[in-house]
């Protein structure tokens, strides 16, 4: 942990890294197919993908990573190029790629865990939990200089998780049914994995490091990637990583959401630096969990509790307040947040209620994903 502290103390503020997860599906049936090993091997021959394509537990999933970027525009440009190369590679290998939080009908019992020592160890350690996790998400890394500062930013970001989840909600279907939720992915992942969901507050790097050392000493973890919290300091990159969001159907939605996350992280750091959070306590876990459930259940169609103002507001209004609050950071960093009028969950449910079948809705989403490479 001393070495990790040095990573954060040498980090650069507000660098950006994007990670997008895609389901690998048969282009005709849209069933999940276990083709990751083949795609990954082929990606090693592509200079754009060789260092950015990766696996994420199950063999019917592939991830691409933008790498560290100095600006939002640079990160978006890199990711758009990698996305284009990945989709061209997938087409050459006769598969399609999908980007929603869950697969609408795939049976988790059919999923294969990637055959590497790392993922086979997770399979052994987690058992049913590892097999159950056929979900897809978007992760965003933002550089934060200073170990104590990274912990403080992570503590404050906890209360932003519900609004980010509501904004990104894109998984209403599971087991060929409308789950009744806006993000059933969150119920699968954050409610089953250990060391997941909303973390507690740590306040200082020493307190955080002490807890991690305890987990290592007693054999709970062997590496930092086993900390699956929805916001976490990333030990290797010197970033704060936000992991709460559903995968986004289109590239434009991914980059807009990534811009919002980056602005929230940056504005939080700025507020801490300028003393605007002095004397204010972060929200308690049970308060955040109440809003998180509202985000899971209703997404952007629900309401959030503003515990500090002691009022209930529409989730749309809560998002507008976040956009207003982050305007200084967005201006400083040149970030535009062009979110769609309706997110994926809202579009899916509207189509379902209009009489479209789950298969038709998913096929349309897969087609949208394949044609939106532009950042």
Report the C-alpha gap between 343 and 277 in whole angstroms: 31
Report the C-alpha gap between 324 and 120 in whole angstroms: 45
Element (H, E) at 24: strand 16-25
**Domain locations in the chain as residue ranges:** 2-370
91 backbone dihedrals φ, ψ, rounded to 5°: -65, -40
- 201 contacts 154 by C-beta, under 8 angstroms: no
Paired tokens of 375: 């950042």
2-370 placed in CATH 1.10.10.60: no
Q: Which of 138, 333, 335 is nearest to 250 (CA)?
A: 138
Q: Which of 114, 98, 121, 120 is nearest to 365 (CA)?
A: 98
Report the C-alpha gap between 292 and 268 in whole angstroms: 20
Element (H, E) at 60: strand 58-65
How many other β-carbons are positioned within 10 Å of the β-carbon of residue 210? 12
Residues 275-288, buried b or exposed e (16+ Cβ, 10 A)? eeeeeeebbebebb
Residues 121-153, buried b or exposed e (16+ Cβ, 10 A)? ebbeebeebbbbbbbbbbbbbbbbbbbbbbbbb
Report the C-alpha gap between 189 and 181 in whole angstroms: 14
Mind listing the pLDDT tens digit of every residue in the chain (375 residues)? 999 999 999 999 999 999 999 999 999 999 999 999 999 999 999 999 999 999 989 999 999 999 999 999 999 999 999 999 999 999 999 999 999 999 999 999 998 999 888 888 888 888 888 888 899 999 999 999 999 999 999 999 999 999 999 999 999 999 999 999 999 999 999 888 999 999 999 999 999 999 999 999 999 999 888 999 999 999 999 999 999 999 999 999 999 999 999 999 999 999 999 999 999 999 999 999 999 999 999 999 999 999 999 999 999 999 999 999 999 999 999 999 999 999 999 999 999 999 999 999 999 999 999 986 544
Q: Which residues contact 254 (CB under 8 A, 6 or more apart)?
A: 18, 20, 79, 99, 138, 248
């Amino acid at each position: 942990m001393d070495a990790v502290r040095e990573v954060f103390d040498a980090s650069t503020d507000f660098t950006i890294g994007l990670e997008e997860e895609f389901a690998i599906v048969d282009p005709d049936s849209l069933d999940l197919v276990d083709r990751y090993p083949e795609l990954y091997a082929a990606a090693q021959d592509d200079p754009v993908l060789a260092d950015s394509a990766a696996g994420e537990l199950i063999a019917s999933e592939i991830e691409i990573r933008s790498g560290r970027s100095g600006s939002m525009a640079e990160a978006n440009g890199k990711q758009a190029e990698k996305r284009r190369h990945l989709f061209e590679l997938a087409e050459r290998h006769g598969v399609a790629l999908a980007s929603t939080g869950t697969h609408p009908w795939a049976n988790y019992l059919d999923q294969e865990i990637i055959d590497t020592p790392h993922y086979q160890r997770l399979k052994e350690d987690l058992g049913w939990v590892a097999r159950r996790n056929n979900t897809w998400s978007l992760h965003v890394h933002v550089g934060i200089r200073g170990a104590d500062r990274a912990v403080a930013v992570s503590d404050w970001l906890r209360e932003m998780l519900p609004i980010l989840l509501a904004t990104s909600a894109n998984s209403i279907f599971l087991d060929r049914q409308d789950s009744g939720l806006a993000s059933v992915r969150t119920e699968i992942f954050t409610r089953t994995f250990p060391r997941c969901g909303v973390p507690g507050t740590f306040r200082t790097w020493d307190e955080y490091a002490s807890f991690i050392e305890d987990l290592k000493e007693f054999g709970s973890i062997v590496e930092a990637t086993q900390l699956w919290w929805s916001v976490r300091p990333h030990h290797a990159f010197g970033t704060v990583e936000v992991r709460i969001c559903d995968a986004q159907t289109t590239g434009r939605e991914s980059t807009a959401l990534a811009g919002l996350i980056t602005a929230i992280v940056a504005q939080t750091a700025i507020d801490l630096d300028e003393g605007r959070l002095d004397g204010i306590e972060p929200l308690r876990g049970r308060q955040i969990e109440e809003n998180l459930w509202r985000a899971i259940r209703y997404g952007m169609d629900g309401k959030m509790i503003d515990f500090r103002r002691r009022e209930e507001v529409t989730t749309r209004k809560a998002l507008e307040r976040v956009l207003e609050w982050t305007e200084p950071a967005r201006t400083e960093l040149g970030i535009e947040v062009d979110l769609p009028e309706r997110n994926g969950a809202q579009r899916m449910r509207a189509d379902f209620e209009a009489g479209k079948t789950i298969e038709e809705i998913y096929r349309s989403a897969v087609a949208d994903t394949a044609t939106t490479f532009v950042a």
